[in-house]
């Protein structure tokens, strides 16, 4: 590794000779200068990694030198060294013009720590994360060899998400390959676990985890006993790793009371999972009990246009005769109008707010090469999510709520998975169009490559025809037709889709917060 070069500007640089020798002994290259002008001259070489700058120098002062450095070389970290903790120096630090400041007299270890903090932090964090994951790799592998129950799968997935985020800071391709392989193994085993238990969960033959039809009753309704208003923010197509990535921003305003994961039903799409969540019923139960609020796939109209009515019926069934509102945010203008109206919603016991941005991003990423490049992989996908939140009306709404005594819930109806393995399937023209699940009369597929449900009523799904099975894709698979196969595969390869079975789609966040 190349030596890190430190430019040290101080009009009494000779007195700092012991510090310079200490740093050189540690393997650093120190360039000593006695004025701001000399410092600027040295920076023209482009070989400086960090600058130590005396605040009180004759001629070009430390602050004037700082301004010139930041104008010409904005990425070079500058550590200001000053004799007193004057407020304007701290203001400069907080304002981002200087990376840090030290108070004279400084000792060599202070200098060393500051250098490491601002030039080697990323590498040191990366090395520590890599070493720590290597230690955890065996424990996770041993867990995967056990017969995990539903709660243990949740905890394992939380671990995998943690390491996914931790390892994103490293550029070590080998450790990324190891993690991807372990995560793929976990996803494969999770799919088998889900398929083995799903039917028995729904039919009461074994204890089921928290799921789409029960999460509102078991987690949201208890909050309504509180005197506080409750705001339920549903971010469509929101993964748990995206939640953990934006969590530090949210925690600047709200305190996390509960960080939970619940299981989505299949198909993991808005039509099925979100309607089930709001109704507190499985899709076939909605169709039977409230046929006016259910729209089948082959029928005209939006498939989730009656969410508000279904939530109203759910509240009534449990004797919750409360004032509530429902708002669906489709663009920034709608979001701004909602923020302006939040004070009026404070009189409601429950306010439901739907945000469709991430789902729209997922679809836009499929259709637009520009968006596809912006969200190339999971790490970029998370980054775009954070960037959107930082500049969205949703953050303004969270800031507003953080100043009030309210309950806030952040959740979703399903996640999504990055697909990269095509599986051939044939069907007639009435076959459903989703890439991760199919329903139709004349489906032709390899049953070993899918989760096959020949009788839809067995998993409480509407049945369109006498012979109308459902098939679901595993892990990163997606269904492709033999016609125009190569073109079809190329178009959808490495896009984010939902509807099938994977940890990313099924294991989704339900977060409870207060100020």
**Which pair of tokens denotes residue 261?**
């994961």
Mean pLDDT value of segment 272-284: 97
In a domain, 35, yes or no: yes
Least confident of 13-27, 193-207, 287-301, 326-340: 287-301
Is 411 in the same domain as 425? no
Order of strands, edge to edge, in the sheet holding 437-439? 437-439, 470-472, 451-453
Mean model confidence pLDDT for the chain: 90
Is 239 in the same domain as 156? no
In a domain, 498, yes or no: no
Could you read off the pLDDT of 465-491 as tens digits, one per residue? 767 889 999 999 999 988 889 999 998
Mean pLDDT value of segment 143-171: 93
User: Looking at residue 102, which CATH number applies to its domain?
Assistant: 3.40.50.2300
In a domain, 77, yes or no: yes
pLDDT band at 349 (very low <50, low <70, confident <90, very high): very high
In this prediction, residue 125 carries a pLDDT of: 66
In a domain, 335, yes or no: yes
Place of tokens 């990423």: 365
In this prediction, residue 197 carries a pLDDT of: 97
Is 244 in the same domain as 376? yes
Is 57 in the same domain as 80? yes
In this prediction, residue 105 carries a pLDDT of: 86
Domains of the chain: total: 4
Could you read off the pLDDT of 249-263 as tens digits, one per residue? 999 999 999 999 999
In this prediction, residue 319 carries a pLDDT of: 94
Is 412 in the same domain as 444? no
Q: Of 148, 180, 201, which marks where a domain is finished?
A: 201
Q: Of 182, 201, 220, which marks where a domain is finished?
A: 201
User: Looking at residue 315, which CATH number applies to its domain?
Assistant: 3.40.720.10
**Contact criterion met (CB below 8 Å) for 55 and 82:** yes
Is 360 in the same domain as 250? yes
Least confident of 84-88, 115-119, 382-386, 433-437: 84-88
Is 322 in the same domain as 433? no
Is 149 in the same domain as 100? no
The answer on pLDDT for 83 being more than 90 is no
Q: What b/e readout covers 459-483, taking b as 16+ CB neighbours within 10 angstroms? A: bbbbbbeeebbbbbbbbbbbbbeee
- pTM, rounded to two decimals: 0.81
In this prediction, residue 433 carries a pLDDT of: 86
In a domain, 112, yes or no: no
Could you read off the pLDDT of 135-146 as tens digits, one per residue? 889 899 999 988
**Which pair of tokens denotes residue 415?**
């996640």
Order of strands, edge to edge, in the sheet holding 350-355? 255-263, 507-514, 407-411, 230-235, 350-355, 324-329
Question: Chain centroid to CA 65: how far?
Answer: 41
Residue 192 burial (CB count, 10 A): 13
In a domain, 287, yes or no: yes
**Which pair of tokens denotes residue 80?**
């200001």
Q: Strand 470-472 relative to strand 451-453: parallel, antiparallel, unpaired?
A: antiparallel
In this prediction, residue 256 carries a pLDDT of: 95
Q: Of 78, 106, 134, which marks where a domain is finished?
A: 106
In this prediction, residue 85 carries a pLDDT of: 62
In a domain, 329, yes or no: yes
In this prediction, residue 243 carries a pLDDT of: 97
Is 259 in the same domain as 394? yes
In a domain, 160, yes or no: yes
Is 225 in the same domain as 374? yes
Could you read off the pLDDT of 100-112 as tens digits, one per residue? 888 888 888 888 8
The answer on pLDDT for 154 being more than 90 is yes
Distance between first and last Cα of the chain: 47
Is 353 in the same domain as 473? no
Domain range holding 245? 210-417+504-514
Q: What b/e readout covers 87-97, taking b as 16+ CB neighbours within 10 angstroms? A: eebeebbeeeb
Is 397 in the same domain as 378? yes
In this prediction, residue 359 carries a pLDDT of: 75
CA torsion angle 369 375 376 381 (round to 10): -160
Could you read off the pLDDT of 1-12 as tens digits, one per residue? 578 899 999 999
In this prediction, residue 376 carries a pLDDT of: 77
Mean pLDDT value of segment 319-325: 95
Backbone angles phi, psi at 223, to 5 degrees: -70, -25
């Amino acid at each position: 590794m190349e030596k890190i070069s430190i430019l040290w500007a101080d009009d009494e640089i000779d007195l700092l000779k012991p510090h310079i020798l200490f740093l050189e002994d540690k393997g650093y290259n120190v360039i000593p200068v006695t004025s701001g002008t000399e410092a600027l001259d040295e920076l023209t070489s482009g070989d400086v990694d960090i600058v130590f700058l005396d605040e009180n120098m004759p001629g070009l002062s430390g602050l004037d030198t700082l301004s010139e450095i930041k104008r010409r070389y904005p990425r070079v970290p500058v550590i200001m060294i000053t004799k007193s903790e004057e407020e304007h120096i701290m203001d400069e630090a907080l304002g981002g013009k200087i990376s840090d400041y030290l108070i004279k007299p400084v000792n060599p270890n202070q200098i060393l720590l500051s250098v490491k903090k601002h030039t080697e932090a990323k590498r040191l964090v990366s090395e520590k994360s890599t070493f720590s994951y290597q230690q955890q790799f065996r424990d996770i592998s041993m867990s995967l060899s056990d017969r995990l129950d539903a709660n243990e799968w949740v905890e394992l997935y939380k671990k995998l998400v943690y390491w996914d985020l931790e390892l994103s800071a490293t550029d070590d391709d080998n450790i990324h390959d190891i993690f991807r392989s372990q995560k793929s193994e976990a996803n494969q085993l999770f799919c088998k676990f889900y398929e083995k238990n799903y039917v028995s969960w729904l039919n009461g033959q074994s204890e089921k985890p928290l799921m789409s039809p029960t999460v509102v009753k078991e987690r949201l309704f208890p909050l309504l006993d509180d005197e506080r208003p409750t705001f339920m923010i549903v971010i469509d197509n929101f993964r748990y790793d995206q939640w953990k990535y934006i969590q530090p921003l949210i925690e600047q305003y709200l305190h996390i009371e509960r960080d939970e994961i619940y299981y989505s039903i299949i198909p993991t799409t808005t039509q099925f999972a979100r309607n089930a969540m709001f109704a507190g019923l499985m899709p076939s139960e909605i169709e039977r009990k409230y046929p006016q609020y259910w729209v089948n796939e082959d029928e005209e109209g939006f498939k989730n246009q009656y969410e508000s009515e279904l939530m109203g019926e759910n509240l009534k069934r449990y004797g919750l005769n409360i004032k509530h509102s429902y708002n669906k945010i489709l663009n920034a203008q709608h979001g701004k109008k909602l923020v302006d109206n939040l004070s009026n919603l404070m009189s409601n016991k429950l306010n439901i707010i739907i945000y469709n941005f991430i789902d729209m991003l997922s679809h836009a990423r499929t259709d637009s090469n520009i968006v596809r490049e912006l969200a190339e992989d999971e790490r970029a996908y998370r980054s775009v999510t954070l960037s959107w939140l930082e500049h969205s009306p949703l953050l303004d709404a969270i800031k507003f709520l953080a100043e009030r005594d309210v309950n806030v819930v952040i959740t979703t109806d399903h996640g999504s998975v990055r697909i990269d393995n095509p599986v051939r399937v044939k069907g007639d023209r009435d076959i459903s169009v989703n890439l991760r699940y199919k329903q139709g009369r004349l489906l032709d597929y390899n049953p070993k490559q899918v989760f096959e449900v020949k009788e839809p009523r067995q998993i409480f799904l509407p049945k369109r025809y006498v012979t109308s099975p459902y098939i679901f894709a595993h892990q990163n698979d997606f269904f492709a037709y033999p016609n125009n196969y190569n073109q079809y595969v190329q178009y959808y390869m490495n896009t984010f889709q939902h509807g099938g079975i994977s940890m990313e789609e099924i294991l989704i966040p339900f977060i409870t917060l207060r100020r």
